[in-house]
Each structure stands twice: as structure tokens, then as C-alpha cells.
Structure 1
């Protein structure tokens, strides 16, 4: 199946075209060839609580179509009130985000060239187009064969009124103005100390390079960068340390990631203790190099004179990438690694499995990828997973990393001084693993080998527990009473260690998940009951720290450090999850995401750090890059954590989070005193905040284009907060907004004018999010600006779509209300942003 996302103006239809691969013979009616389906919102329901939406099923043929003996299946991340459907129809929740629409009225007919509507009420809200149902397909009830057939499907975009558009554009205009003042930041991320010198050093083919033997690879890296980027080949002449124009020298008194960089008219000198420091000094050189020198064939380039002493604020500077919900290739991951390294991030957390997919080959357990990496409509036979997140009826192949693929990722990361931490999600979010091991169980039972069949089984066949996970699953939790669960984890860890060893890279830390085990799991499992009785536990809640202790000890036996989500440091004593000081001595790194304002856990990271846990602050409010940028219908992403633009990411204060929090995640002003009693970091707690991390969950990120759009440039703001020294506006009891806005403006100027222009050429160009256009009507004139500078606005006044041959916005436009204006940000290489249409 292929996806083609077409998104331009707010009035343009966004079509999801589903193409059949390997179609199966069908019922003689071939209804799937005769219908098209549209999904739309009832008028006035967009953004409302529990809105009404509908499918319109069109008969495109010239004969009536019976609604008997066929069903329409679809994925929908929002819960449906199945009782809200007209009695002629039935919508049933099957599991996860999969629903089945069937026809109760056996006499119902789709008239020739006609249509029927099926309305239903959704739980929650539907804020943007990525919440729409997806992956539609038909099955026939009376077919003698297993069957599933995609259908043509489209969703209608939201058409805003002129007044709504002008309000949105005016608010964006005001936000865009924040970067108008201040000088351009010199380097991203900001160094610890920078002193501007006078003049510059000229690099040409006559320039010579000398490196300490410890930094030979960094010297090769610098030569390659200059050659590929600016066309300059440094002189191959061997020079002594004294006469070389560019030197990379060793200073063992510096920290591992620290460096000093001195540039004057005589040359460039880098000091570092270790290769990492030298590598990061070169990244600063790259940041100093103006964008016009990139993708050029030059005889010389000029680097401004500076003196820099630098080291990172945090030792852990990370990005979590979910490749389980929707798979992303090794080539995509390597592209992301390159940008992480350029901005001095040093940890890639790969989320390799979840309910919807297992994405890493484990040779001794082939079912994990044979079953766990495949989603299709034929899942009832147990040899695949059900469709999720619009994956559709037919299977896609090779949606996992082979051992060689994974080693290639590891090796590429190591070259860029990035540690890859694999995540094996346990015991919840484990459905892909559970179903895979069920398939293994059946295979060996057919062979009469019960011992082997049960060796890695992850669930209790007699378990009658009833639960509903955050993603609507009822069968996604490992049974922690089973010894085979720990045998399975041990086997996977051993194979992971082997892959790292073959790549010549030690596996030092593993992430074992530990989040969102739903209430009700384990309550009615005979095996759990036996374990509880043997341990004299009074509640299944006590099994949680029991499990964490077990996997922590298992990791220690294998010489591994354990990381997990925040719940690993928590326990439910009967009144909800709270910090568990009893497990601090297990030396578990906890990744804390939950700081949602108004959610009650705003200070959770500080509770855990103060208790002694090593915390990587993974703020959902600031650094979840699957979250939508802003509240408009054509903006992709989740909205449960509000909205996150560059400014919100940049403004994160890891050690003083509440200082600049004045609204909730949706922009509503806070109730007075809401945060007054929240826990603050102690001195010990500050030492336990070991890093910050961003995260990209991929339920709504189906391809590389969307992934890069969601990640960049927000990841660059993450890098600023992870590396740069604590800013003055993170200290004290009153937020220094003036100082913040000055720094933010300098950052945005550097980002837009320099860094994003470099991304246009690096690795063939990145598909980062283009800046939003702001516009105000002022005294019968139109005034425009962009979200980050360095980008041009093009427009037309005759209703045609703007392109590079259209008028470029350079000054205020006199408003003619008889004309239809269309605006868009367009890059020099033809990338087009959202097209804004204004008809007065």
C-alpha cells in the first residue's frame, strides 16, 4: 500500500490513495471497485468536545449495490461512541485503533450514482486532519476465501472563514515579530564562553592541517567536510605542529566532551582531551561557516576570528525515535544521526517494539519479525498483526532492521559520537512480542514440543483480566509471573549484546520501557495469583516493584545499566502512582515525560530526582515532536499535550520548570496558585538531572517527509537547551522575559538565516518545516512576515497559486478588496509552504 499526502491550501482536498499490492480474488460483486468513501465533520463540530463526524459512501457505478454481507474496516485513534450510530449500521471496536462498520439492515441498498451517510460521535476532540480515520478496506462475509480490499478514500480539509483566517494570521504575525530585534547568535548551540576577535582566517587549498595522532579521524572528517561542502581541498603537505595553519591539539586537562577553539588571522587551533571534544569543535567551526559557503565550489572561505571555551551543560543529550508504530528505514535514521551530531546531541534512543510492531531481527526468535513486523487484514490466523494507524489491508514487507542494518546504524552513530540505546518495551506496550511468541508456541505445539513452545511464551493462556490500554488494546501486557518472560528478555538482550560486539561497540545501557501498564492487568490471572500468594502480596500493585527489581538484577548480571520510563521509579500504594524510594539503589535511569500543566504531575521529574533517581527530562510539553506545532486544522500531529513550536521548545527550563509557565498546554491562563506548592529541585536533585531528551512517537508519522517536518527545526532548539550553559532567565524567582526574548531573537535569526539554509544542501536537503506566514490588515494594507527569517514570501492577487515567478513580498501591499490574494513561503529550490488564500 502506498500513501500520497497532498496538502496545500486550506481548501484543498487531502487525498489518501490506497494502492493494492498482490490483490486477492474477490466476491463477484466487487463492491470495493464500485465505491468511494469520504470522511468529514458535521458543521460546527471541529474542535468541539465529543464531535459528530461521518462517512459518506458513494456508489460510483451505474447499478445498485447491496449493503448485505460486506463490512468497511478502518483505523481511528479516537474512541467512537458506538451507541451514537444509526440502528441501520453497526460500528464495533475490534482492538487498538481498528474498527468495523457493518450494515444491520439487510435490505439497505446503495443506489446507482448515489450515497449513504453514516454519522457517529467521537470521544474527545478532532483538532486536525491527522485525526481522520485511515487505512479503509472492505471484507466480504460470504466469500469462500480470506479477503480484504482497499477502497478509494478522502478527507475534506477545514475551510476557515475570512475572519478566522485573519485572526490566525494576525496572531502568527505578532509571534513572528519576536525575532526582529537582537544580534544573530554566533553558534548553535551556544558555547560556554565566546569572545569575538578581529578579522578572520582564510582557508584555501594552501592551508595545511596538523592533528595530534589521537585525532587523526577528526582531521579526516574536517578535510572531507571542507571538500564536500565548499570544494576546498586542504594541502596534502605534511607540516609540523608549529607551521600548520589548522591544528587539532590535545589538552588532557579538559573534560571528554569539552574543547577550546581559537581563530585569528594566522590560523585555527583546536584543543581537546578526547576525540569527542575535537569533533564538537569542528561542529562549531561548521556553525561559524556562513551558509553561502555551503554547497559551493570556492577557492577560499573566511572564518571569523573568535576565542571559545566550551563544554556541554548535560552529559545526556538525546532524541527518542519510535520506529515501532510506523517503521523508518536505516537510511532515514542515518540522516537523523547526521543532524543530531551537527548540533552536538549524543544519544539516540531507538524505540524498537510496541503493540503495533517489532522492528529488529532477533535470529534465534524469527517470529518476532515474521509475525511482529507485519500488519494486514488477515491477522486472525495469528501470523501477522492487525492493521494500525492506517497501514491498510495488505502486508508490507521488510519493515524491520536486519542484524546488518542495525550494525550499520550503530557504526554510523559511533562515527558521529552518538550512543544508540535500544528500547525493548516491557511489560506493557508489548503486544507485537506477545503475538509473535504465541505464533512460536503454536508452531512448536504442532511439532509436539511443549517445552520449546512454552520457553518464551509471554502471556498466561488462562488469564481473564480485563483492561483497556492508553492506545485501546486489551491484550498487550506481558505476564510478569511467568519465568518465560524473563527468559525472553534475557535472550533478546544477549542477541543485542552480540550485535553490538560484532559492530565493535559495547552495549552499556538498555531501555526496558516500563510505561502505561493499564489498570486491571494481571487481576484475573491464575499464574499471577499463585505468585502473589507465594510472596504474601496483598495487591497486584506490589508486582510492579517486584518486576522492576527482577529486570534490574537481570541487567546487572549482563553488565548493563537499566533505563526506563518514569514509572520504573514509582509505585501504586493504592492511591495512584507515587515516587518509590525503595528502588533508588538499583541505579535506574528514568526518562520523565509527564509535566503537563494541570495534570497533577507537573513536578514529577523533581520528585524523582530529589529521591535520588538519575533523571533524563523528556518534557512532553516542550520536546514531544509528534505534537502539533499550532492549533489549526492543516497542522499535523497529536494535540493531547497542547502545541509546541520552536519558541516553546527553546523556552524549556529543566531546573526551574515553573518559572516561565503562565498558561496550560492549550494557552489558557493558569488559575492563581496552581503551581505554588509544587516541589522544587534540591541541590542533590539538580545533580540528578543528567540530561534532556526529545521524543518522536510515530502514530501519525508515516513517512520520511513527515518525520523530518516534525523533527526539524524543533530538534535544534532541543540541542540548544541540552548543550548551552544555563541562561540568566532560568534563575531567580521572577522570569526575565526581556533577557529571554533577546536570546530567543538571536537564536531564531541564526536558525533561519544560517542553519536552515545549510540544511537545504546537507545530505541532499532536509524536509524541515517551512516557517509560518504572519499577516495583518493595517489601514487598508497587508503587512507580512515569517516565523523565522531568511525565507521569502511570494504572492499573487489574481487567485492563482504563487510560485517563484510570482511577486516577492518586499513591502506593504495596498489592499484591494476586489482581489483574491494568495501567499506562500517558497524556498529557492522550490519547496512550498502552506498556501494562504484571502478573498475579501
Structure 2
């Protein structure tokens, strides 16, 4: 009997061990997630005795093999021995002609061998980046460590050909060392395009040998209005400080600037190419050319320089000398950059000087041009034809569509308020790159919703049929640097949003919960790479909080390793401020500032919570007989929502059934005042969440609830108010400063999930 029991116990243990061996492992923390991943049992350990197999037919992957060797040497301290014959305990780089996608690859890990297969070097490089993410984050540093890979099978290829990031080096300059770091991050997350914005009003950043004054003069400036803003902000946040390496003294003046020599840029192009990243240069024209015009005033109509009504005075498209200049510059750019694309901007052109120029009037009559938009198209057509002679494709911002553009040009869609621009471009036969300002401008301040908004971005816009959808090359995010003077500030703004976009353009399948879980592991890798990422948002509170008797501040941490520090005296939390490690009771009016710190000392956003003791507001003594709110629309330019009431402009009042901008609001800049009542169904403390682009102020029961005022990108702010059941007056003032708007109002009660305000609540 004892023997039988022992046998049964042995069988049970064997089955348990087998079940444990075959149990699915945790989802690998890969971003972007592969098209197909199947976990397997076991793992493979890379040791000093592991061999790297590179057969004769795989010699095309020699450069990628060298990069793999450098990566692994970080952990095992030496390069792997190489051989041409597969064996156990080996890593095999394999040529596979059956893989059709240029960046496609196969990655197979078994306990005996690792196989990376591709047809093209780009595919092999992407496979290595996947393997890199499967290894511990400490692989990014040179230190002895065990390198273990989980057994799995991956079959992968990108969803879109254009997976891009942009960097504006004109407004604020970034060194060649930083460009390499930026390229390394793009490579890690499988981006393949880097759009470098090299010239603008504020600085010319690339050497042009025929026109040396472009960099001798155009690359340097005394502090401008953007610099003044960041210098002021740097008093509280050192990331806003101008970097000293870009400051020089000349003739008793401090100048800001810098530029890349052509030799330096060749090295950067070569470095990016080794990571299978194509650098696309942008030389903005005919507008955004003040740095060039200041150096060579002859480029402007009647040699006028400076600012017009909205933008800088552009080059003159009516003088042949302008085309002589442009063609000479673009010849050097075309010779320097191997990319098939050259971006010429063609956006935000101040055309006033064109309407006043005798030369332009003469040219327009000669060419049969009806307006200055067509004159811009004339300029773009000529530049495109010239670049085609250099075997280059033109890319421009979607303003190119306004006066007509050739189907051969590539349109970069950014004006999100021009919702039909992608459809217009597609119907004209243009290829399209999606980069709308309301989602993919990473210089816009992030909030707790920004990451999810990027992750849920739809690359193929609605309204395109199957054939038109094929014209969408992909998407990219832009980083405009007017208010980004440092590398740390840049990383805060694009990371981790870059990782969300990476998955959108590579995998194109939405699983935000999975992505969030995987992202938590990537913060460790970003730390190892010295990336100054934005620490995830703290939650569980409102900026404006109220209580009737008492409240409890109980902050929710997104990462377990964060330390929350706080102050109650109005000062900013620092590394020595008290730790908030348990619920904090609130019994009186108070202002609390708090921030999260990583173990490495990286500081997250500072949150200010204003606690107010408040009685429940009594309902209004009014009778509301009509559904909806009154929305009063006023065209005009407003810097603050409170300014709407001060205007003497024409006002148009309509009824809206939800909190939304009425369709009558068609001006580029306007304000809207919403008035009426909320039919509050039960007494309690309500939290309201107001998202605005540009600004808004919410008052309920004549109490300030949310102040989200000013001209800014879409940001959510929240506030609380204590309300009795019944009709409560609501006053919401909203302003749009131009360039597309966002207005959203939701609510929650007693910590519930935020939801839309029911139509039945809105009364007047």
C-alpha cells in the first residue's frame, strides 16, 4: 500500500512539474508588441561559451552581427566566438528568402538555440532590438550579469512603412551627441524615420558652403521671446535652463545657437543608417525663413524683413534670385542627405508682402495666377520640379493643398481642425503622413490622458476607401522646441509617449491594458539609458478638493518604487521633504504640494491640491422649463476666459443639448459662454473634469470649480464642489485661440469612474 501511495505521489508530482513547465509565462515586456508571439517552455542562457553562427549566405548581416556582439558583451564581458556551423548553445543569424517584408523577421528561442532570421539587414536589426528588450534592462550598461532569454516564437513585421519621429533643432539646438542618443531610442522602439527640422526663423542649423552667412550669422541670436519664457521657468524647474554649451560671447553680447557642419551631419546620417533609420531634412520655405533673410535680405520682396500680421515675412517667389538661392541650398542638401525625401515645409506663409509687390503682381498676371495661394503653389511646383531632377521627393505640410499641389508631392497632415485634408490629399493622389497637432505634437504639455490618447490614435482616418487608405504611409510625432531648451526637457515631453506611438505604427492593434503593464518594465530600461522620462501621473485626488466635515488624501502610485514627498507651506517638494506613505487626514482648509521621486532621484510633476471646507450649496430657487444650456458664441481673440464678458462684439446665443461648442462657432478665434442649471439628482461632493484646448473656467453654484484658463494644448484639470440635490447654476466660459479646439466636461461622485454629464441634467 505504501508503494502504491509513493507511486501515485510520484505521478502527481510529475504531472504538476509538467504542468508548471508548460504553463504560459508572463507576457514579455516588448514595445512594440510583435505581430505574433507564441511562448514556449524553458529558456536559453547566453554564456561565454555560446557561439554566434553566421553562415556564408548570412554574410549580408555582418554589420548587424557586430552590433549584437557589442550588446551581449555588455553582459558577458566579451564577444562570442563565431562559427559558420549551427550547434547547441548557439545564436544563429539566418538568411531567409521566404520573408517578404523588408523589415520582417523571425525570432525563435529554444533551450538549445536562438535563431534570428530575416531577408534584409533592416529585418535582422529589428530582430536584434526585440532580443535586446527580452534581455534584462541592465544590458544597457557594461556590467557582468546573467543573460537569460525566455523560450518563444516570434513572427513579426511592421504595419506601416513610415514610423517617424521629428526633432526641431532650429528653435533650440541639440548637439550631435544628443542626436545619437535620440537615434538610439528610435532604434530601440523600431522607428525608421527621423525628420530633422533644420531651419526656421530662429536659427539656421546646417552648413551651406555657397552661403556661409547662413550659419555665420543665421545660426546665432540674442535671447528672443521664447528664451525669456524658459529662463523665467528655469527658476523653478532646471530643465528649462538654456544649456551653456550652446551659449557664446561675441562683441560683449551673449549669443545662443549652433549648427552642424556638413562633415558632422554625414557622420550622423551614417550612424542613423547603421540603425536602419532614414534622416529626412527639412529646409522650410517660402515661409519660416527669417534666419536666412536676415543674412541675405535680397531674398525678401523689396528686401523687407521681420514679422507680418501672423508669421514672419517670407522669401519672394517673384524674383529669380530667390530660386537661384533655393536651388543652390537644396543642391547641397540633396547631395548631403541620401534620403529619397526632402521636406520643404510650405506652411504658415505670411503673404502680405506678396500682395504689395510689383514683381509679384507682374508674375501673377503672366502666369494666370488668381491669388497668392496659387502663387505659393507656383513656388512649390518649381521647387518640386527642381528636386525631382535630383531624384528627390518633396514633402510639405498640408497647407500645400490650399492652392493646388502635384500628386507626386507627399503631404504631411498636421492641421487637425482641417479634418478633410487627408481625404483631399488622397483624392488628389498624394501620399500622406499623419501627424495631427491634437494628438502627435509631443511639445504639447502631457496630462494623465495623453498616453492613452496617443495609443488609441487611428492612423488611417475615417472616410478613406481601401485604395485611398493605401496612400497613408504611416505616422510620426513632432517635437517643436520653442519652449524646449534642454535635452532633459525634450525627453520629459516625448518619453514615454514615443513608446505608445511605436506600438501604434508597428503593431496597429489596440490593447492598452497590456501596453500599460509592459510599459512599467520599460521605465527600468529608460533609467539604465539615462532617459529623463516623465514620471507617470499620481492619481486619487483633484486639484481643487472640498470637504464638508473632513477628507482623506490617499494618493495612488502608478509604480511601486516611487516615493511621494509633500509640503504644506507652499514650497515645492524636494528630496528632503516629508514622505507621504499613508493616508493623510484633512480637517481644515489647506494647500498641499506633492511629487513622486524615483529611486534614482528623477522627480515627477508637482501637484498642487487646494482643500476647502465647504457647506453643501443650496439649490437655486428657480424653475427650469427647457432642456439644454444657453451657449453664447462671440467671435474674437481672447487670452482669458474671463475676457469674454468684457467684449463688445456681436453675440449669438443658441441652445445646446450637451456641453459642446455650437456649430455657429466658425471663426478661427472665439469664446463661448454656457449658462443654465445642472439638475443634481442627490446631495454629495461632485468632481468635475474639464479638458480644454485652449482654455476654460467652470463655476457651479457660483463657486469656482475648475480653472483651466489660458492659451494651451488639450489639458484636463479637475475640481470638486459640495452640492445639494436640485437645480444648481452652471457657468462655463471657454476660449479658442486658433488652430483647433477641444472641450470636454465629465463628472464623478464619491470616487466613481468619470462619465459624461447626462442630457437630462442640463436645464435652462
Equivalent residue for 2:533?
A: 768
Superposed, 1:303-382 pairs within 5 Å as: 303-376=149-222
Whether the aligned pair in 2 keeps the contact of 1:204 and 1:232 (CA below 8 Å) is: no
Is 1:409 the equivalent of 2:268? yes
In the TM superposition, residue 313 of structure 1 has moved relative to its aligned partner by 0.8
* 1:557 aligned residue (389, 396, 401): 389
| Pair 698,838 (structure 1): closer, same or farther in 2 beyond 3 Å | closer
Question: Aligned pair in 2 of structure 1 residues 801, 583: CA closer, same or farther (>3 Å)?
Answer: closer
2:514 aligned with 1:746: yes
Q: 2:326 aligns with which of 442, 466, 489?
A: 489
The alpha-carbon distance between structure 1 residues 644 and 562, as it changes in their structure 2 partners (threshold 3 A), is farther
Distance 2:194 2:217 in 1: 26
- The answer to whether the 8 A contact 1:204-1:301 is kept is yes
Aligned partner of 2:113 among 264, 267, 271: 267
Note the alpha carbon deviations across 1:371-391, whole angstroms, 9 max, x for none. Answer: 2112127xxxxxxxx765439
1:549 Cα deviation from its structure 2 partner:
1.4
- Measured after TM superposition, the shift of residue 183 of structure 1 is 7.5
- Could you tell me how far 1:825 is from its partner in structure 2? 1.4
Distance in 2, Cα, partners of 1:835 & 1:324 = 29
Q: Is contact 1:569-1:613 (8 Å) kept?
A: no
SS of the aligned residue for 1:411 comes to helix
Aligned to 2:42: 199
Question: 1:651 and 2:465 equivalent?
Answer: no
State whether residues 320 and 351 of structure 1, in contact with CA within 8 Å, keep that contact through their aligned partners in structure 2: yes
Q: Note if contact 1:389-1:700 (Cα within 8 Å) is conserved in structure 2.
A: yes
Question: Which of the residues 444, 448, 468 maps onto 2:309?
Answer: 468
Unaligned segments of structure 2, at least 5 residues:
1-24, 232-251, 612-764
RMSD: 3.0
Q: Which deviations, in whole Å up to 9, do the C-alpha atoms of 1:703-727 show, x marking residues without a partner?
A: 1121111111111111111111344
CA contact (8 A) 1:463 1:522 kept: no
Q: 1:518 to 1:264 in 2, by over 3 A?
A: same
How high is the TM-score relative to the length of structure 1?
A: 0.62
Instruction: Name the SS of the counterpart of 1:692 in structure 2.
Output: strand
Query: Do 1:463 and 1:525's aligned partners in 2 also have CA atoms closer than 8 Å?
Result: no
The offset of 1:325, in angstroms, is 1.3
How much has 1:295 moved relative to structure 2? 3.7
The reply on whether 1:594 has 2:415 as its aligned counterpart is yes
1:829 equivalent in alignment to 2:600: yes
In the TM superposition, residue 462 of structure 1 has moved relative to its aligned partner by 6.9
CA contact (8 A) 1:352 1:423 kept: yes
2-structure distance, mates of 1:809, 1:269: 49
Displacement of 1:780 in angstroms is: 4.7
CA distance in 2, matches of 1:534, 1:426: 23
CA contact (8 A) 2:88 2:113 kept: no
Query: Residue 610 and residue 513 in structure 1: after superposition, are their counterparts in 2 closer, same or farther (change >3 A)?
Result: same
Partner of 1:789: 559
> How far apart are residue 338 of structure 1 and its match?
0.7
Q: Residues 823 and 529 (structure 1 numbering): CA distance in 2 closer, same or farther, change over 3 Å? A: closer
Compared with structure 1, are the counterparts of its residues 628 and 351 closer, same or farther at alpha carbon in structure 2 (3 Å cutoff)?
same
- Alpha-carbon separation, structure 1, partners of 2:509 and 2:609: 44
Native 8 Å contact 1:191 1:725 kept in 2: no
Deviations 1:628-680 (A, max 9, x none): 113xxxxxxxxxxxx972111111011245xxxxxxxxxxxxxxxxxxxxxx0
> Structure 2: how far apart are the matches of 1:468 and 1:496?
31
Distance 1:704 1:265 in 2: 42
Distance 1:418 1:232 in 2: 28
> Do 1:794 and 1:804's aligned partners in 2 also have CA atoms closer than 8 Å?
no
Native 8 Å contact 2:443 2:481 kept in 1 = yes
Describe the superposition over 1:417-472 as per-residue Cα deviations: whole angstroms up to 9, x where unpaired. Answer: 1111111100011111111112xxxxxxxxxxxxxxxxxx31222779994234xx
Q: Does 1:757 align with 2:524?
A: yes
Cα distance in 2 for partners of 1:370, 1:296 equals: 41
Matched, 1:695 2:478: yes
1:583 to 406, 423, 427: 406
Deviations 1:553-611 (A, max 9, x none): 1011111111111122332xxxxxxxx4x621xx111110111xxx3x12322331243
Higher strand share: 2
- Structure 1 portions without partners, runs of 5+: 1-181, 378-385, 439-456, 501-505, 572-579, 631-642, 658-679, 728-742
Indicate conservation of the 8 Å contact 1:205/1:299, yes or no.
Answer: no
**Take 1:802 and 1:621, find their aligned partners in 2: how far apart are those partners?**
32
Distance in 2 separating the partners of 1:316 and 1:204: 37
| SS, match of residue 523 in structure 1 | helix
Which residue in the other structure is 2:466 paired with?
683
1:424 aligns with 2:283: yes
1:719 aligns with 2:502: yes
1: CA distance between counterparts of 2:138 and 2:220? 45
Q: Distance in 2 between matches of 1:534 and 1:724?
A: 51
- 1:465–1:520 CA contact under 8 A, matched in 2: no
Per the alignment, do residues 466 and 806 of structure 1 end up closer, same or farther by CA in structure 2, a change over 3 Å counting? Answer: closer
Residue-by-residue CA offset, 1:267-314 (whole Å, 9 max, x unaligned): 211110111101101111122224366547345221111111111111
Q: Say which is worse superposed, 214-223 or 535-544, in terms of deviation.
A: 535-544
Larger RCO (CA within 8 A; separation ≥ 6): 1
Change (3 A) 1:569 1:537: closer
- C-alpha spacing 1:512/1:192, structure 2 compared with 1 (3 Å): same
Query: Distance in 2 between the 1:521 and 1:388 partners?
Result: 25
Q: Distance in 2 between matches of 1:807 and 1:302?
A: 40
Offset of 1:194 from its aligned partner? 1.1
What SS does structure 2 have at the residue aligned with 1:707? helix
* Per-residue deviation, residues 96-140 of structure 1 (Å, max 9, x unmatched): xxxxxxxxxxxxxxxxxxxxxxxxxxxxxxxxxxxxxxxxxxxxx
Partner of 2:238: none
Q: What displacement does 1:744 show?
A: 1.1
SS of the aligned residue for 1:773 comes to coil
Residue 461 of structure 1 aligns to a residue in which SS? helix
Secondary structure at 2:478 match in 1? strand
Q: Structure 1, residues 466-523: CA drift from partner, whole Å, max 9, x if none?
A: 94234xx3xx2111111112211211122223434xxxxx242211111111353410
Shift of 1:806: 7.5
Contact between 1:413 and 1:420, CA under 8 Å: does it hold in 2? yes
Contact 2:566 2:580 in 1 (8 A): no
Corresponding residue of 1:511:
343
Q: Is the 2:38–2:153 contact (alpha carbons within 8 Å) kept by the matching residues of 1?
A: yes
Tell me the distance in 2 between the aligned counterparts of 1:710 and 1:537: 43
**Pairwise CA distance, 1:803:** 6.5
After superposition, the Cα gap between the structure-2 partners of 1:191 and 1:432, relative to the gap in structure 1 and judged at 3 Å, is same
